[in-house]
Structure 1
Amino acid sequence: MCPESEIHFRLKNNIIHPLETDNPWEAKPARRRKPIPELMVKEYTRPAADKHIHPDSLRSFSALKKTISYLLSFKSEFTNSARWPIAYYFIKDRFRAVRQDLIVQRLPASQSIELLEEMIPFYLESEYRCELQQTPNYDRKLHKTELEECFSRWKSALDSLEEKKFSRDMMLAYFLHHIDDSSFRYEILKWETALSDLTSTFNDLYFSICIGNYVRFFRLARSLQESIWRYALFPHIGMYRCHALKAFSAAFCGKSITLPTSELSEWLAFSNEDSLWDCLNDMFELDPNSGSTVKFYKCVHRVNFNENHLKLYWFSISL
């Protein structure tokens, strides 16, 4: 998983990650930790302009497969919110090194697809976990950039193959992740035969948005069977809730109309009514004593509300 030359260099200079030691959670200085060479994984290094990557430092396809499998074991092992950040940053850096080896070697498209299809679910799930747990120093923009790079290389490799072999679950996740881009509606038509029934799943969600049927959209989102699909859709949940509440405030603005918060919470797939109220208070100036109902009559939209900077509770949904 790590070239011998890098192992020797990092051992000599004491550049060892806690997860590469005998006891990563023991409270002791780095220099006193006992490194385990067998657990060391090649780290990402940005190549200098005048320095070429040595062929001996490149890992084979089988070695990259083994590395990915090993790294993903940390994802399920360290679910504790205190330990998750250490695992997340370790996996993310080592995955970047995997992609670097993949690119430099110019691996065949079929092998690139296989490797990327194993890494992409991590980026989709960890985005949700990092946002939910408010992981310290989490860089949302960088994470999205790396996810888009993975999707882009995966799709490029797939397009280069005459005989298309790919994960149908991954393809639907790809389209769901870009559901806010109308151009993907036309692109999915090219894959209609290969995706079969999954095409209708995307179309149902997409057209629900187009016609403003947000209740149906959230009902369908909740019923998605694969976790990778729900994670792919997660970044869009807040924006579509925002659009839905705008539509509801116009449709149910009659003087005598009230909506039960339990019903509204169910329509928009909120995990609890408190999150619904947080969102409502962000957008509107409402009667704070309305109890278990919402009344949009003469409600005022808050001028300082920014739908491009939604807080976490806008995305709270049982995944």
Structure 2
Amino acid sequence: MSNTRDLNETPLHKNNNIVNEICTKGICMEMCPSEEVILRVKEKMVHVLELTRSGHKLVKCYCRSAANSNMAVPQLLRPFRVLSDTVHYLLLEISNRSNIKMSVMYDFLDDRLRAVRQDMTIQRLPPEECVVLLEPMIRFYIYYGYRLCDHPISEFDPVLNKKYLLECMKWFLNCCDVLQNTDKVEDDVDTILTHFNSLDISKTRPELSCDRILVESLYILCNLDSIHPLYRVSALKLAYNIAIANIKCNFIKIFKLSRKLCPLTFSALCLHHPMIQRRALQAMSFAYNSQYLTVPVEVLKQWLAFNSYEEARSTCMHYGLKVVKEKHGVCFNKHTFKVDVEQHQLTKYYQAKVLQLKLEDVLSYTV
């Protein structure tokens, strides 16, 4: 495998390459250190999702590091087993609460998962442990990135979500590369997953999985205009072909191939729909340039994965294309296409299977 992925070397990734340096080992065996529990209960800073019938069950918050603070305190850091229990609890139990607004749920889970990554970073957990913790986080960010894509910026920030998603992806894939270079990837991850799934916490709930091929596919589809992810794994044929079709501006092929994607990879691609549709309509304005001939709106809807006739019609009009009502068709004209207008807003594609799935469902399947 060619290691040409465009990774920015951050402390998150460098940590996995440090082998001779003494690392701080966490000894906190609870999901939230007692010191934080006492403080937050006293200050009435317990989140609604941490309230239980018997009182409360707190999970460690993300904490920004201050200039003179020492965060490498063993009593405040959770070891791998506790972190794995925490990830299970957050993504397989808390996420099932149906009485909480989705954006509130996302904010809580995002904060607590960032705290998990913070503990991982400070302790410099080995790559075989990191991949097991990071993979479900990647699914989490993809899932909510699509489910909340039409929410106002005050409730959901897609830019920040993608930042955390790519951070987790790059860290995960960097760990995989390190493991592969030492020929440990299969044995080490399988061993940890076996232990991971033998814990009591897993016996009463669905199991999380660790699927590298899925993450590699997501990495391609989340970086659709970049060629670097295409050189990584030969098994990623479908995602690879979609990316190549995009580079070659074969937009109809993109949507045709997308029907074969799994729910998560399809969701990752759907976030690019407005960009792909705009570029397709602009290309068609040159290819089908005519003052008299039209392309049926219904055909356009099928080609470019619009939800409805009306959505296809309004999008064409947004870019200055004339819709001939009598013919139910679009008259493409390269001179009238508006290249300077803002890209039309993303709307959820009703055929996206992820819209019918719970977070629990997307955390456990493999491709």
Q: TM-score, normalised by structure 1?
A: 0.84
Which structure dedicates a bigger proportion of its chain to helix?
Answer: 1
Q: For 2:345, which of 285, 308, 311 is the aligned residue?
A: 311
Deviations 1:254-285 (A, max 9, x none): 23421111111000111222221232122114
Q: Is the 8 A contact 1:222 1:269 kept in 2?
A: no
Q: For 1:150, which of 157, 165, 168 is the aligned residue?
A: 168
Corresponding residue for residue 94 of structure 1: 112
Deviations 1:219-241 (A, max 9, x none): 111221x2121122233222111
Q: For 1:4, which of 21, 34, 37 is the aligned residue?
A: 34
| Unpaired runs of at least 5, structure 1 | 24-33
Deviations 1:149-201 (A, max 9, x none): 1112112211211223452212211222112112222x32xx22xx3xxx221
Partner of 1:300, secondary structure, is: coil
% identical aligned pairs: 29
Q: Where do 1:123-142 residues align within 5 Å? A: 123-134=141-152, 136-142=154-160
Sort the Cα spacing of 1:13 and 1:215 in 2 relative to 1 into closer, same or farther, 3 A: same
**Greater displacement, 278-287 / 63-72:** 278-287
Corresponding residue for residue 52 of structure 2: 22
After TM superposition, what 4+ stretches of structure 1 lie above 4 angstroms from structure 2? none
Partner of 2:270, secondary structure, is: helix
Q: CA deviation at 1:11?
A: 0.9
Corresponding residue for residue 282 of structure 1: 318
Q: Which amino acid aligns with 1:138?
A: F
Cα separation, 1, equivalents of 2:330 and 2:95: 40
Q: CA deviation at 1:101?
A: 0.5
Partner of 1:40, secondary structure, is: coil
Partner of 2:46, secondary structure, is: coil
Sort the Cα spacing of 1:74 and 1:270 in 2 relative to 1 into closer, same or farther, 3 A: farther
Aligned Cα RMSD in Å? 2.3
Q: Which amino acid aligns with 2:125?
A: L
Sort the Cα spacing of 1:285 and 1:241 in 2 relative to 1 into closer, same or farther, 3 A: closer
Cα separation, 1, equivalents of 2:302 and 2:169: 33
**Greater displacement, 232-241 / 161-170:** 161-170
Cα separation, 2, equivalents of 1:111 and 1:235: 30
Sort the Cα spacing of 1:286 and 1:127 in 2 relative to 1 into closer, same or farther, 3 A: same
Q: CA deviation at 1:47?
A: 1.8
Q: For 2:256, which of 219, 234, 251 is the aligned residue?
A: 219
Q: TM-score, normalised by structure 2?
A: 0.74
Cα separation, 2, equivalents of 1:289 and 1:79: 44
Q: Which amino acid aligns with 2:273?
A: I
Q: For 1:205, which of 233, 239, 242 is the aligned residue?
A: 242
Q: Is the 8 A contact 2:220 2:240 kept in 1?
A: no
Q: Is the 8 A contact 1:176 1:233 kept in 2?
A: yes
Does residue 168 in structure 1 map to residue 213 in structure 2? Answer: yes
